Structure 1
Amino acid sequence: MSTEVNRIFFSFPSEILGTTLAVLPFGFIAWAYKAIRPPRPKICGSPDGPRITAPRIKLRDGRNLAYKEHGVPKDAAKNKIIYVHGFDACRHDAVAYKNLSPDVVKDLGIYIVSFDRPGYGESDPDPNLTAKSLALDIEELADKLGLGTKFYIAGFSLGGLAVWGCLKYIPERLAGAVLVAPPFNYWWPGFPRNLTNEVFYKQKLQDQWSLRVAHYTPWLTYWWNTQKWFPSSSLIAGSMDILSSHDLELLSNNKRSDRQSYVAQVRQQGLYGTVHSDLNVGFGNWEFTPLDLENPFPNNEGSVHLWQGVEDLLVPVETQRYIAEKLPWIHYHEIQDGGHLFPHANGMVDTIIKSLLLGK
């Protein structure tokens, strides 16, 4: 071979290598972008989305909010309650009604409306969801359904964060409020560092990292909870390890639950607008903390109640005690042997609702 041919022949692999090395970063970027970008939600009523089966109201920004009514007829009700469901649930999971005695409903004239939080069930996702936007959704739901100038608000588990939002942004609309085992945002300012560190590190390591991702890099929440390299949120995975013995006993006693008939609806529009959004909003940066709130009922015209199980492995009882100590206008109730699911115990919801409506 001539010298020129040899030069071209032996330099060819290095040119390929150089080109490959130059292209690789772009390939990696394309792969990474696809991996961290959540798929588009399957909007209910769209050509590729689930069908609409629930009554819905249209909100100020064009989104739809699905709801379900329970109890006595609205026009005959003495007490009207909006119920906010917890993590990975929907309007059908109205614990405040499902476990409520019919006699209590009748005697106190209780009407309850539960709704799918944005992205869940048949409610449209809200890409700009915040504690404030959800409080305004709740206010608009009350107005569209004609619940009057004042109504009660009740929230279980992560739904309790919505109640904090209502106490902040629409306190004048509330006749009373109850929070049942509301989660604690470990990045809320104003709480003692030794307290937040103590309860944060009690969690499983994989849950510590899931919450860190949601707080510091929310744009990675979808990737973190769908990748297979590291354990992700045990709550999203439905792990039983995060439930107390009391919770497991309650689950065992409620095997005939009708939840299987609608559980597929909960995440039917996608993971990102439901459980992932809950992590990002619940543990992101808030404009306020519970410690910033003022008593919405200075003349005792209503009351705010906070219920917590001592043996709850999901929500630390220590933080609820601190909030109750700093906000003495909150009526604080502890269930000594209660886990996170203590409202499912016989008679518990009757006690909770009576305390809310009768101020006991």
Structure 2
Amino acid sequence: MAASIKKVSPASARAHTRKKKQGSSLSLPPGMFKMISLVVLVGLAAWFYKVIQPPAPAICGTPNGPPVTSSRIKLRDGRHLAYMEAGVPKAKAAHKIIYIHGFASCKHDLLPVSPDLAEELGIYLVAFDRAGYGESDPDPKKSVKSTALDIEELADQLSLGPKFYVTGFSMGGELTWGCLKYISHRLAGAALIAPVGNYWWPGFPANVSKEAYSMQLAPDKWAVGVAHYAPWLTYWWNTQTLFPSSSVIAKRIEIFSDADLKVLSKFQGRPYTAYVTQQGLFETLHRDMIVGFGSWEFDPLDLDDPFPGKEGLVHLWHGTEDWIVPVILSQYVSQKHPWIKYHEVPGAGHLFPLADGMADAIVKALVQGKN
């Protein structure tokens, strides 16, 4: 018996075919969605990785880098360190001082000791560009210890003798702790001037570090937090435009106290401003933040007196109106270390070493061993 055949109209056939095609277009083979998601995720990760990578530094003296115009020494690892000298000639100096510059600064920002005092006390000063700054080669392994060893080698190559002084301002003051830790046997004395403090040093009680941390502007809380907890994001965080980055890098006026504003003109308008970061922002400002606010291999609050025989003194200077580095950190350090000669300057801001007569007072106390 022949099977019956159902007749279908051409319109119905076309509608059935179209519905079948539409249904099939909405279905993916098993695992295809996961594969597409993985490809998108890998693509985004690759894009983000590229975005957060800092550009290569423009090293001085290379074909694409700035020219070398400064006196430089060649260090143990092949890097070059640029320096400048001031004060009386080295051969007739009674006191030799190495100055460690601060954040976003360079050797040209040498402590402004008056020529009269330098002549009177026989003071020779040398300042250098820290690694990556100015005309000193970047150091991808830069640390607190490496900076101290750079200083010791600079002293040796300049024939400063077995003993010399160090002074450091702001971030340079923080790095002076490395000199007290690693090369104290070479020091005749040291002065930390408005030194940056690391909120994560274990020796700070929680209430002290939290109070100091809370005194910062919100963008700076985030910036130093990124430098500590996610250093690999430091370049991106301080160059992106989605969120406010470091107020110090941006030079926002609200970070300066009234006392700072009175002396700020001495720091602004420097003809060498571009010189400071000419090799790249990452190797200067961003790496400074990573080193300064990272996890240190020692705690300055655990250090012993580097001069137990009173052959030298450590001075710490800080202004009470410092809005960049909270004074309470230095206050606690001075209480923890009674061997530190603490000088608190009433009403002074972060830039107080630039005020008339302050540099002379700091150096005079350092070399004469006075409070």
TM normalised by structure 1 equals: 0.93
Q: Which of residues 111, 118, 124 in structure 2 aligns to 1:111?
A: 124
2:311 is matched with 301
- Is 1:332 the counterpart of 2:342 in the alignment? yes
CA radius of gyration, larger in: 2
- Is 1:346 the counterpart of 2:356 in the alignment? yes
Q: Which of residues 217, 231, 239 in structure 2 aligns to 1:226?
A: 239
Q: CA deviation at 1:158?
A: 0.4
TM normalised by structure 2 equals: 0.91
Matches within 5 A, 1:120-199: 120-199=133-212
CA distance 1:173–1:7, change in 2 (3 Å): farther
Deviations 1:281-310 (A, max 9, x none): 000001112211111212221111000000
CA distance 1:7–1:111, change in 2 (3 Å): farther
Q: CA deviation at 1:260?
A: 2.7
**Secondary structure, aligned partner of 1:261:** coil
Q: CA deviation at 1:106?
A: 0.5
1:286 is matched with 296
**Secondary structure, aligned partner of 2:270:** helix
Deviations 1:240-292 (A, max 9, x none): 1111000001124x38x6x5321111010101110001110000001112211
User: Which amino acid letter does the alignment assign opposite residue 215 of structure 1?
Assistant: H
**Secondary structure, aligned partner of 1:194:** helix
User: Which amino acid letter does the alignment assign opposite residue 359 of structure 1?
Assistant: G
* Unpaired runs of at least 5, structure 1: none
Task: Kindly report the root-mean-square deviation, in angstroms, between the aligned alpha carbons of the 2 structures.
Answer: 2.0
* Unpaired runs of at least 5, structure 2: 1-13
Q: Do the aligned partners of 2:203 and 2:302 also contact (CA within 8 Å) in 1?
A: no
- Count of aligned pairs: 354
Identity of aligned pairs, percent? 57
**Secondary structure, aligned partner of 2:107:** coil
Q: Which of residues 323, 327, 347 in structure 1 aligns to 2:333?
A: 323
User: After the TM superposition, which parts of structure 1 deviate over 4 Å for at least 4 consecutive aligned residues?
Assistant: 1-22
Equivalent-residue separation in structure 1 for 2:315 and 2:184 (angstroms): 14
User: Which amino acid letter does the alignment assign opposite residue 207 of structure 1?
Assistant: D
**Secondary structure, aligned partner of 1:334:** strand
Equivalent-residue separation in structure 1 for 2:226 and 2:24 (angstroms): 46
Equivalent-residue separation in structure 1 for 2:52 and 2:162 (angstroms): 44
**Secondary structure, aligned partner of 1:333:** strand
Q: CA deviation at 1:26?
A: 2.6
Matches within 5 A, 1:72-83: 72-83=88-99
- Is 1:312 the counterpart of 2:325 in the alignment? no
CA distance 1:221–1:14, change in 2 (3 Å): farther
**Secondary structure, aligned partner of 2:284:** helix
User: Which amino acid letter does the alignment assign opposite residue 357 of structure 1?
Assistant: V
CA distance 1:102–1:6, change in 2 (3 Å): same
Equivalent-residue separation in structure 2 for 1:181 and 1:222 (angstroms): 25
